Homo-oligomer: A and B are copies of this chain.
């Protein structure tokens, strides 16, 4: 027995990074959680399926957040006058240490999970903290939300404050195995291996995580080339490596067919690092707002798109203050303009369709066929009501989408489907 239904409305998704497919007043059909396609009329074999009539509203694919720190949501926007390494020490690490307290973790993560559920995001790759019980609480809350998420218990056994540092590699790996045992029954929230970043992981820990990755085939996420001070530090810590990406690669934690990997930021990746990411299929999580707030810079997204690298968007809560990937799209366009104007006029700014592509198909691809209403894609859909943005103009669906990306907030998200399941 197949379960089918259709959504009717003004449907928009990316065909390519440069082109939008726009279907006003069409039907998007879902069968067993998978998209059948978009049709002007219901085809005969689907003539009798239930139709949710969202006429006059926009329907877009669910958005993917490729990088965010769930525990940092509690202090987003505070202390943004610091650069990355200072901000980690004065704000981030003390705040993450609080998650040793499970009551606090539950209160904080409940707020995060509910806000993520109400947003336009349907898929996300998230960092927890090093704490196993708190990370499992986060995962249970996300499982209940209905979203499809990847969550990592963070590994960190050096260069971290005493109250947020694992004793050694062995202790970190044992905790990681306990965490994996604790979440193995979850269906929608799955684990992802998460060495925080090279400066906070000993060689022994990286080697142990590589072994665990080989054993489990779990995906991996970490940080790469965010800030020049950080890059110089990695060069000191890993003198045998030719660069930051190479240092991950030497530990076998940098993509490849059996090791799907997300690297957040890549603001300062050089040609060699880019070539390695391309060769290994590493996904870049572009986090424009965080890169501004922490004065990291602006990633050369035009280069990444031209070179055909895998790239999506990340909110990077709480380097970024906004959970919205719609906001991340507008931010991505805006920062690329400043990069062009102030830094390097050889790379043209990215366009809004390109930003939309990154926030849907670009990042969605890490989860499989995700981010478009094409046949065979996961049926992730967001219904947007722009009636609180009145206009005296007759707007096209594309113009309405543009306004929602620049102007709207979570109020615009009125219905959401993930793998065909209606969340609200």
CB-CB contacts of A305-322 with B at 8 A, as 1s and 0s? 000000000000000011
Q: Is A390 an interface residue (CB 8 A)?
A: yes
* Contact call B77/A292, Cβ cutoff below 8 A: no
Within 8 A of B (CB), among A368-424: 390-393, 399, 402-403, 405-407, 409
- CA A107 – CA B77 in complex, angstroms? 37
- Residue contact B338 to A107, C-beta cutoff 8 Å: no
| Contact across chains for B392 and A321 when beta carbons are under 8 A apart | no
Number of copies: 2
Q: How far is the CA of A321 from the CA of B407 in the complex (A)?
A: 7
Whether B108 contacts A337 by the Cβ 8 Å rule is no
Beta-carbon contact of A298 and B80 below 8 Å: no
Q: Is the CB of B81 within 8 A of A351?
A: yes
- Nearest to A349 among chain B residues (CB) is B295
Residues on B with beta carbons closer than 8 Å to the beta carbon of A338: 292, 295, 297-298, 335, 338-339, 342
Cβ-closest chain B residue relative to A406:
B77
CB distance from A235 to the nearest CB of B (A): 20
Partner of A111, one of B343, B351, B392: B392
| Those of A74-111 within 8 Å (CB) of chain B | 74-78, 80-81, 104, 107-108, 111
A298 to B393, CA, bound (A): 31
- Tell whether A78 pairs with B402 under 8 Å between CB atoms, given A293-B334, A334-B293: yes
Cross-chain contact B406 with A321 (CB below 8 angstroms) = yes
Complex Cα–Cα for A76 and B406 (A) = 9
Q: Are A407 and B76 touching (Cβ within 8 A)?
A: yes
Q: How far is the CA of A419 from the CA of B321 in the complex (A)?
A: 34
How far, in angstroms, from A190 to B352 measured CA to CA in the complex? Answer: 38
Q: How far is the CB of A248 from chain B (nearest CB, A)?
A: 25
Does B78 contact A399, Cβ atoms closer than 8 Å?
Answer: yes
Which one of A108, A321, A342 has the highest number of Cβ atoms from chain B below 10 Å of its Cβ? A342
Looking at chain A's contact residues, is the secondary structure mostly helix, strand, loop, or mixed?
Answer: helix
Task: Report the separation of the CA atoms of residues A111 and B111 in the bound assembly, to the nearest whole angstrom.
Answer: 34
Which residues on B sit within 8 Å (CB–CB) of A78? 399, 402-403
Partner of A295, one of B297, B340, B392: B340
A29 beta carbon closer than 8 Å to chain B: no
Q: How far is the CA of A334 from the CA of B77 in the complex (A)?
A: 12
A333 beta carbon closer than 8 Å to chain B: yes
Point out the residues of chain B lying under 8 angstroms from A339, CB to CB: 338, 342
Interface string of A339-359 (1 = CB under 8 A from B): 111110000010110000000
- B403 contacts A77, CB within 8 Å? yes
As a 0/1 sequence over residues 270 to 294 of chain A, the CB contacts with chain B under 8 angstroms (1 = contact) are 0000000000000000000100110
The answer to whether B111 touches A391 (Cβ under 8 A) is: yes
Q: With the chains together, A379 CA to B331 CA distance in Å? A: 36
Task: Tell me the bound Cα distance from A359 to B296 in angstroms.
Answer: 26
Knowing A74-B392, A81-B349, say if A292 contacts B108 (CB, 8 Å). no
- CB A15 to nearest CB in B, in angstroms, measures 18
Alpha-carbon distance A401/B340, docked complex (angstroms): 33
A292 touches B402 (CB 8 A): no
Choose from B342, B406, B409 the contact partner of A409 (Cβ within 8 Å).
B409
Q: Which chain B positions have C-beta within 8 A of A76?
A: 403, 406-407
**Across the interface, do B80 and A333 meet the contact criterion of CB distance under 8 Å?**
yes
Chain B residue, CB-CB nearest to A103:
B392
Specify which chain B residues have a CB less than 8 angstroms from the CB of A322 in the assembled complex. 406-407
Q: In the assembly, what is the distance between CA of A322 and CA of B389, in Å? A: 12
A392 touches B293 (CB 8 A): no
Q: What are the residues of chain B within 8 A of A77 when measuring CB–CB?
A: 402-403, 405-407
A interface list, Cβ under 8 A from B:
74-78, 80-81, 104, 107-108, 111, 289, 292-293, 295-298, 321-322, 330, 333-335, 337-343, 349, 351-352, 390-393, 399, 402-403, 405-407, 409
Could you show 9 A-B contacts with beta carbons less than 8 Å apart? A76-B403, A76-B406, A77-B402, A77-B403, A78-B403, A107-B392, A295-B349, A296-B341, A297-B341
Pairs of residues from A and B, 5 with the lowest C-beta to C-beta distance, nearest first:
A77-B406, A108-B392, A342-B343, A107-B392, A295-B337
